[in-house]
Structure 1
Amino acid sequence: MKLWDKDGVGVNELIEDFTVGDDYLLDIGLIPYDVKCSIAHAAMLNKAGIISDGESEAIESAFKKLLCKYDNGDFVIKKSDEDCHTAIENFLVAEINDIGKKIHTGRSRNDQVLAAFRLYMVDKIQSLCNKGKYLTESILDFAYKHKTVLMPGYTHMQKAMLSSVGLWAVSFAESFIDDIEHLMYIMGAISKSPMGSAAGYGTSLDLDRDFAAKKAGFASLQVNVLYAQNSRIKYDLLVIDALKQMMMTANKLASDMMLFTTSEFGYFSLPSGFTTGSSIMPQKKNYDLFEIMRGKSSSLNAASNQIFSIGNNLVSGYNREFQLSKKVIMDSFKTADEVVTLLAYVFENIKVEENGLSAAVTEELVATDKAYDLVKKGMPFRDAYKLAAEGIKYGEVIIGTKGLVKNRISIGSISNLGIELLKKRLDCIWEVSTKI
């Protein structure tokens, strides 16, 4: 039975198909979070004297039974249910009769879905950050292992200055640390409970909303009951844009790997199991994973625009369009999870092609260092710059790279990658996140 059905007339099948869409299928993923919020809601009703201790215990017991069915794959949401909230309440009524009918007191599906989906997003962010931390640590381990292997650094896609495999890798590690820190901040920002806000205008019942927020595991309470609804797309957009930042890092890494694994560069390679082939060219080994990674990462830009467009120009209060953001968010989390997991696997298997890198480290990469060498002897930089340029022009052997590496000791440079500093920063972020 639909929760809003008053006269048994029902809804036209075409209308139901259109308005429900695949929402009832997506909602399977929300069941644990809805149950958690519903148990907290029942406790709030009990605290307010609306349901008895015995009724509260019966409700919690029924919810535990529901979760067992869910864990075993036996809990089904039908299209006629529209969503998990209806299916859950119908289950409760079937299990504990009239007691089950009391669970919706002081709530609306508006705040019910909002609470469940926020806990879902918080959980998914935490899971993604766990995997991001593992990826970052894998990159830092890779960087340390290959910290002395030199490679060209590029600007404008042209050889520019001396770099190293370690320097290149750590640049991505620090970027992912920024992404994780940003995600953690967003996790705290959205972990605000809308419970008790009902349809968006509160109720005439004396409900302890702060109690329910803590019981459900939210970091804090969203105070204004109307803003609870108005913030839905806003919070969704905060999440999607934070995911987009992480995928921007992944996109650049994938682009570098596509370039540096070509035969023209030959800096890195991966085992054959990471490549695909061609149906016509027998020699081909294609790194399709990085191409798909770039495409999937870019899809989050479209997701961000989609979320913004769904929420733009809506009046205050709940709007049914909100439902459409759910799939976009869920798909985006899936993409980010896949990409981060795969990249960790990549860094555990990259082969550094030292011969190719050594051949690429040519004399022009140290032209700036030659200029600085002259500066150290008292020559003005602009004069030293011109002399170094002349040396390159006439093909002079300028300066050896071995000594230059030792000279680059400022933090973040080739000989001082700052790996331990970044590990400490990552650990510090993690300590803060556990408090959230």
Structure 2
Amino acid sequence: MRISVIGCGYLGAVHAACMAKLGHDVVGIDVDPRKIGELQAGRAPFFEPGLPELLEEVLATGRLKFSSSMADAKGAEVHFLCVGTPQRKGEYAADMRFVDAAFASLLDSLEPGNVVVGKSTVPVGTAARLADDLAERQLDAVLAWNPEFLREGFAVKDTLSPDRFVYGVPEGEPGSRATAALDEVYSTPLSLGTRRLVADYATAELVKAAANSFLATKISFINAMAEVCEVTGADVTVLADAIGMDERIGRKFLNAGIGFGGGCLPKDIRAFMARAGELGADQALTFLREVDDINVRRRIRVVELTRVLVGGSLLGKRITVLGAAFKPNSDDVRDSPALSIAAQLQLQGADVTVTDPEAIDGARQRFPELTYEPHFERAMDKADALLLLTEWQEYKDITPEQAGRFVCTKNILDGRNVLEASVWRAAGWNYKGIGTP
């Protein structure tokens, strides 16, 4: 099929490349000419494993091109809206300006029979509103909503081989047209067994918000249990193993640590609360406020644990933070708990050095006052404490003997509970985990 992808940020760039990989002719469109130039040259403007190789492969076939002109969307049969919905400044609600602007710009390029497919995470009611705008133009085009479920670090795999598709379509014949078009777009993964669910607009819009709210709740739950474990002497990792054996609960996302971050979970649960309030259903989601509060509290707790680790005062202490991205295999520092903790330590008088394999440039833009060192061995030099806050494999592989050659004092806080405590303690380190004795 001929496909346009409007918005070539994280979601759009990955989606465009993957649609070309599936055999479609794709044009990716974005208002940022610098981003378009990078993508057209086969360079991803962000770190995502497997994406540079995929871009190089599909650009060579001629099935993928990038443009900064919306006019190049003309001629496509299916148009995917993949623009961002960040949190509004000073509010919880999602900022819909970019979605609305992209949709308005696309209208002039639509032709009879076209299908417009929203993939952005939007407040419930957005699809119905845009469908009404489309109907007023009498273009014989139809709108569908097809939420994305990408995990950063696994986005290419999640697009080519997702665990499910959800189609939000209107009732009647136009709905059948939208379903048929999406089935053709995704014919390869569907033929390989990917499950498909067809729903109304509102349900499709709620799926992403509800899924992220559940995952955030699960993370905050185990972090709340870590707080209880710390005052009782219990071990949260064993506790998580035990309750995770219950098939109704499961072990995934039950890892205590410094909390969640990134560009999805924090802003999505806040936008969900805001939209529920607008609709008069705010009481249904009051628990999400505590989920958010627990998550923020973890960062404060790590600062306090670090203070204890270095003897009661942070003033003048040299702290090395291993990790700036909100998760490994990503350069995303949006709402990164690791960076937030580093900044708070600096404000309280510590001399903080941050290292990360991929996220230093983005981190420096957000917190220029911190010191950055790309080589983690040099970053550990003369440190009074190491804080492992993003579980990159190279940090998990550090041995106590290796780290001991560089630090001034053998203190380590394992903010992700990924190191073997007994090994580090046996090597003479003062080791502190999260929610562990």
| Greater Rg over alpha carbons, structure | 1
Q: Tell me whether the two structures share a fold, i.e. TM-score over 0.5.
A: no
The structure in which a higher percent of residues are strand is 2
Q: State the TM-score, normalized to the length of structure 2.
A: 0.30
RCO higher in structure (CA 8 A, sep ≥6): 1
The structure in which a higher percent of residues are helix is 1
